[in-house]
């Protein structure tokens, strides 16, 4: 069954990373007055960027606004209990729940108790406002328009704010980022060499890669007298609240750039103790799976190939099974191979079946770099239809799994929360090499699970009459902007 996507109803971030908009601001809000928030939502809903099919980036507007809510936010806006309970367990629990932390590896230095936001000890998050613009002035103007000068008049209070400026396509460690993205059926995307995945992998209410039409949260039709939402075909008395929505994972990941550079310099030294910059570049690339230009090691095993790295028809058009099953070019435990093993899994052995399995665990990445004085890193954003099956699975079963794909005792060399004595195997002939003493390069600084509703669902929330009483909660406003 081919998917017909309602581009006007899907928020733009699902299909567009706004790569032409280099300035971004992410504002975490808490709802203090639900009625005022609804009036504000009614206003904001008209400015939410939709996923209308793009006809060339120059035609896109100079700024974009997208919005997502936590379970707490949905509850405060009056979504009935039966609807809230229909959301998946992991979304209901939240990223900071101990069970989720265990699966995600958010322990020790990365534990929620140490987070800047989203932790049990920090102010509760209800809403995420994502603003993108061509330049700083436009972003300020857009932020001002969205929030007005007095945020409290909108019924929301600011909990956290993160500013992001992207100068190029590289993440702080110096590697071109965001190259590999899944293509969505019906979106018009045709990336070379990549499978086009069912829309239900990323957009609720559509058939997924299992051929399932997974049920989505719905609301009694009586709560939607104006018929803002579309009917829920599986529940005749209900309207579909979840359709065309997506789950959004937000994680602020601090990157220890100096630590990374020092490690590869140390690990690459010659026997006489002298530096070996060429080998340092190779070791860094082996850890990532790509060269700084973005050229994949599988296609450029010896040295960087900037032309390949920047060629979008070639830089993601590869598998591992045929040319590099044993990991002699791109190590089995490298970051990109763990995050997306493509067609090379120990089982199923068949490349086609392995690719099919890998494609059931993909995410759309919309991360942005940040820098707060000395701290820098990525505000990681992932979109998927099942946080447990997609984002959490990648994190738990692939990135953080010491046994990934037949390996023994090593986790992702780049992003996993190593205890400081990690190890990586670099497959080679005749004998593998071990990189011992891997420290932690990435530290989790805060995060939350959100539901990014369709534009119809935002309008529905704005007109929803049933509003629970809110507790008056004192809040601390942290402005990192």
Nearest approach, Cβ of residue 406 and other proteins (Å) = 5
Q: Does 392 bind other proteins (CB under 8 A)?
A: yes
- Among positions 433-472, residues that touch other proteins (CB under 8 A) are 433-434, 436
Nearest approach, Cβ of residue 198 and other proteins (Å) = 13
Task: Report the distance separating Cα 460 and Cα 227, nearest Å.
Answer: 9
CB closer to other proteins, 94 vs 367? 94
Q: Does 396 bind other proteins (CB under 8 A)?
A: yes
* Selected range binding other proteins among 312-320, 399-407, 412-420, 441-449, rule: CB under 8 A: 399-407
- 3-class SS at 130? strand
Distances (CA, A) of 272 to 184, 268, 275, 362, 389: 52, 11, 9, 44, 48
**Residue length of the chain:** 481
The site for other proteins, by CB under 8 A, has a size of: 37
Task: Tell which one of 195, 196, 357, 470 touches other proteins (CB under 8 A).
Answer: 357
* Selected range binding other proteins among 141-149, 166-174, 210-218, 278-286, rule: CB under 8 A: 210-218
Nearest approach, Cβ of residue 405 and other proteins (Å) = 8
Q: How many CB atoms lie within 10 A of CB 59?
A: 7
Closest CA to 122 of 146, 95, 86: 95
The alpha-carbon radius of gyration of the chain (Å, integer) is 22
Any idea which residue has 């120990």 for tokens? 346
Q: What is the DSSP annotation of 451-463?
A: EE--HHHHHHHHH
Task: Tell which one of 83, 239, 315, 401 touches other proteins (CB under 8 A).
Answer: 401
Task: Tell which one of 120, 188, 348, 468 touches other proteins (CB under 8 A).
Answer: 348
Q: Which residues contact 289 (CB under 8 A, 6 or more apart)?
A: 296, 297, 298, 330, 331, 334, 335, 336, 337
Nearest approach, Cβ of residue 57 and other proteins (Å) = 36
Contact assessment for residue 160 and residue 129, using Cβ atoms and an 8 Å cutoff: no
Task: Tell which one of 165, 214, 257, 478 touches other proteins (CB under 8 A).
Answer: 214
* Selected range binding other proteins among 177-185, 254-262, 372-380, 396-404, rule: CB under 8 A: 396-404
Task: Tell which one of 393, 441, 450, 460 touches other proteins (CB under 8 A).
Answer: 393
* Selected range binding other proteins among 51-59, 169-177, 303-311, 398-406, rule: CB under 8 A: 398-406
Task: Report the distance separating Cα 205 and Cα 207, nearest Å.
Answer: 7
Nearest approach, Cβ of residue 279 and other proteins (Å) = 14
- 3-class SS at 475? coil
Q: Does 85 bind other proteins (CB under 8 A)?
A: no
**196-197 and 183-184: which strand pairing?**
parallel
Q: Does 352 bind other proteins (CB under 8 A)?
A: no
Range list of β-strands (E), 320-374: 364-365, 368-372
Task: Tell which one of 150, 226, 374, 431 touches other proteins (CB under 8 A).
Answer: 431
- Among positions 239-278, residues that touch other proteins (CB under 8 A) are 271
Number of Cα atoms under 13 Å in the Cβ half of residue 280: 13
Nearest approach, Cβ of residue 88 and other proteins (Å) = 10
325 phi and psi angles, rounded to 5 deg: -60, -40
Residue 254, strand partner residues: 377, 443
List contacts with other proteins (CB under 8 A). 99, 102-103, 210-212, 214-215, 271, 326, 346-348, 353, 356-357, 360, 388-389, 392-393, 396-397, 401-403, 406, 408-409, 427, 429-434, 436
């Amino acid at each position: 069954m081919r998917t017909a996507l309602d581009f006007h109803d899907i928020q733009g971030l699902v299909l567009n990373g706004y790569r032409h908009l280099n300035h971004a601001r992410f504002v975490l809000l808490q709802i203090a007055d639900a009625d005022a928030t609804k009036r504000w939502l009614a206003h904001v809903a008209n400015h939410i960027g939709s996923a209308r099919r793009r006809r060339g980036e120059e035609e896109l507007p100079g700024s974009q606004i997208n919005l997502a809510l936590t379970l707490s936010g949905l509850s405060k806006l009056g979504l009935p209990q039966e609807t809230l309970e229909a959301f998946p367990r992991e979304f209901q629990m939240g990223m900071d729940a101990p069970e989720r932390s265990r699966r995600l590896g958010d322990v020790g230095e990365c534990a929620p108790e140490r987070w800047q936001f989203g932790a049990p000890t920090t102010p509760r998050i209800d809403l995420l406002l994502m603003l993108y613009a061509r330049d700083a002035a436009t972003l300020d103007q857009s932020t001002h328009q969205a929030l007005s000068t007095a945020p409290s008049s909108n019924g929301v209070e600011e909990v956290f704010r993160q500013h992001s400026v992207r100068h190029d396509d590289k993440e702080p460690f110096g590697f071109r980022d965001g190259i590999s993205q899944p293509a969505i059926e019906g979106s018009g995307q045709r990336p070379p060499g990549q499978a086009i995945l069912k829309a239900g992998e990323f957009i609720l209410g559509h058939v997924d890669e299992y051929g399932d039409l997974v049920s989505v949260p719905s609301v009694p039709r009586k709560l939607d007298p104006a018929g803002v939402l579309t009917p829920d075909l599986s529940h005749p008395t209900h309207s579909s609240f979840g359709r065309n929505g997506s789950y959004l994972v937000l994680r602020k990941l601090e990157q220890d750039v100096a630590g990374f550079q020092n490690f590869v310099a140390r690990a690459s030294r010659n026997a006489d103790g002298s530096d070996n910059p060429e080998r340092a570049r190779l070791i860094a690339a082996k850890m990532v799976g790509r060269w700084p230009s973005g050229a994949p090691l599988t296609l450029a095993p010896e040295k960087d190939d900037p032309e390949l790295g920047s060629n979008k028809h070639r830089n993601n058009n590869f598998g591992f099974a045929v040319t590099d099953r044993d990991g002699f070019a791109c190590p089995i435990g490298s970051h990109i191979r763990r995050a997306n093993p493509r067609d090379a899994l120990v089982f199923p052995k068949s490349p086609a079946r392995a690719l099919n399995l890998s494609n059931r665990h993909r995410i759309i990445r919309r991360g942005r770099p940040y820098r707060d004085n000395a701290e820098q890193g990525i505000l990681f954003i992932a979109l998927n239809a099942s946080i447990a099956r997609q984002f959490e699975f990648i994190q738990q079963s692939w990135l953080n799994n010491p046994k990934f794909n037949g390996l023994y005792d090593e986790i992702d060399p780049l992003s996993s929360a190593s205890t400081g004595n990690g190890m990586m195997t670099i497959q080679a002939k005749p004998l593998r090499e071990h990189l011992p003493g891997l420290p932690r390069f990435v530290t989790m600084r805060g995060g939350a699970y959100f539901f990014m509703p369709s534009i119809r669902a935002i309008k529905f929330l704005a007109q929803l009459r049933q509003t629970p009483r809110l507790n008056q909660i004192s809040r601390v406003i942290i402005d990192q902007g």
